[in-house]
């Protein structure tokens, strides 16, 4: 019970890695508060985690939404021990596409802004709202979802890569700023992981992902959840400012 009686907040907790993390944390004794925009799925997940779990409908890109969530969590639980900034979206597309010397397509500005607002500003919003609580406690753990593409780049993901690289940078800054208050800040960088997003992809594409991963398979959401669990626990008490790759050796295989 590595998180016994700890209060853990997880954004994007209604599905995928966020759901697996909520389940894993609850197994280890945490009282979990899930935030997501999917009301039905979020309520369903929370109902399986026991009476101490809760769900809140929150758009992490909206600072007012986030602050109302934090206030409600504090009213119910009285403290916040762990924040997992997991919420994110993808809107892939090439920066520009030229055919016969003519511009035929480019990444829409609105899709760039949307990904940045959720994947980067959302992390900023939630951390800034939670940090004062943890500073007053003189303890806490903040875990940010980045990606291997935030470290290595990826074709057709200008917006997503920009956000995930920014998360890595913010993680390093916050580790320095918040460390004196007993707060650890780390990031997790998953590789190809079998979430709902990948389930819609053609089998040929999935086979290509597996072929580029030396361990020969996609990651499971629970693989990533276990990394979050380790970093949230006292076993990682002297680790801060780091980005942990959980990618099956992907870089080696590319």
21-32 tens-digit pLDDT? 999 999 999 999
Please name the residue that has the structure tokens 């008490």. 237
Does residue 95 lie within any of the structural domains? Answer: yes
Long-range contacts of 133-139 (CB under 8 A, 24+ apart): 133/70, 133/74, 133/79, 133/80, 134/80, 134/178, 134/181, 134/182, 134/183, 135/178, 135/181, 135/183, 137/79, 137/80, 137/81, 137/182, 138/181, 138/182, 139/81, 139/182, 139/183
pLDDT value of residue 35? 98
pLDDT value of residue 254? 45
Cα–Cα distance measured from residue 58 to residue 207, given in angstroms and rounded to the nearest whole number: 35
Band of residue 211 on the pLDDT scale cut at 50, 70, 90: confident
| CATH number where 64 lies | 3.40.50.720
User: What is the tally of structural domains in the chain?
Assistant: 1
Q: What is the mean pLDDT of the chain?
A: 94
Does residue 97 lie within any of the structural domains? Answer: yes
Sign of CA dihedral 159, 163, 165, 166: positive
Does residue 209 lie within any of the structural domains? Answer: no
Does residue 212 lie within any of the structural domains? Answer: no
Does residue 214 lie within any of the structural domains? Answer: no
Cα–Cα distance measured from residue 93 to residue 60, given in angstroms and rounded to the nearest whole number: 23
Does residue 202 lie within any of the structural domains? Answer: no
| pLDDT above 70 (res 253) | no
Residue 160 annotated to the active site: yes
| pLDDT above 80 (res 252) | no
| pLDDT above 70 (res 251) | no
Does residue 99 lie within any of the structural domains? Answer: yes
Domain that includes residue 63, residue range: 7-197+220-248
Q: Is the CB of residue 231 less than 8 Å from the CB of residue 186?
A: yes
Cα–Cα distance measured from residue 62 to residue 48, given in angstroms and rounded to the nearest whole number: 27
Lowest mean pLDDT among 125-129, 148-152, 207-211: 207-211
Two tokens at 5?
């009686």
Band of residue 180 on the pLDDT scale cut at 50, 70, 90: very high
Does residue 210 lie within any of the structural domains? Answer: no
pTM above 0.85, yes or no: yes
Q: Which of 73, 115, 65, 53 is nearest to 90 (CA)?
A: 115
Sign of CA dihedral 237, 240, 242, 245: positive
pLDDT value of residue 246? 95
Per-residue pLDDT of 103-147, as tens digits, reads: 999 999 999 999 999 999 999 999 999 999 999 999 999 999 999
């Amino acid at each position: 019970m590595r998180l016994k009686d700890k209060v853990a907040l997880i954004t994007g907790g209604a599905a995928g890695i966020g759901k697996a993390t909520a389940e894993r944390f609850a197994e280890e004794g945490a009282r979990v508060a899930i935030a997501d925009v999917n009301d039905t799925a979020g309520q369903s997940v929370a109902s399986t985690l026991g009476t101490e779990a809760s769900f809140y409908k929150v758009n992490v890109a909206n600072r007012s939404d986030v602050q109302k969530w934090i206030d409600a969590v504090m009213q119910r639980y009285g403290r916040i021990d762990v924040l997992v900034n997991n919420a994110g979206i993808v809107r892939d597309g090439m920066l520009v596409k030229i055919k016969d010397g003519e511009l035929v397509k480019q990444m829409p500005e609105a899709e760039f802004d949307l990904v940045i607002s959720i994947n980067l500003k959302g992390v900023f919003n939630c951390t800034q709202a939670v940090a004062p609580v943890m500073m007053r406690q003189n303890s806490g753990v903040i875990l940010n979802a980045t990606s291997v593409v935030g470290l290595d780049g990826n074709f057709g993901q200008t917006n997503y890569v920009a956000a995930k690289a920014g998360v890595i940078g913010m993680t390093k800054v916050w580790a320095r700023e918040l460390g004196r208050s007993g707060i650890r800040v780390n990031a997790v960088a998953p590789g190809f992981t079998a979430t709902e997003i990948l389930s819609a992809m053609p089998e040929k594409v999935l086979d290509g992902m597996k072929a580029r991963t030396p361990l020969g398979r996609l990651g499971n959401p629970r693989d990533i959840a276990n990394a979050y669990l380790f970093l949230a626990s006292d076993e990682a008490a002297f680790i801060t400012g780091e980005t942990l790759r959980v990618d099956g050796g992907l870089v080696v295989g590319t």
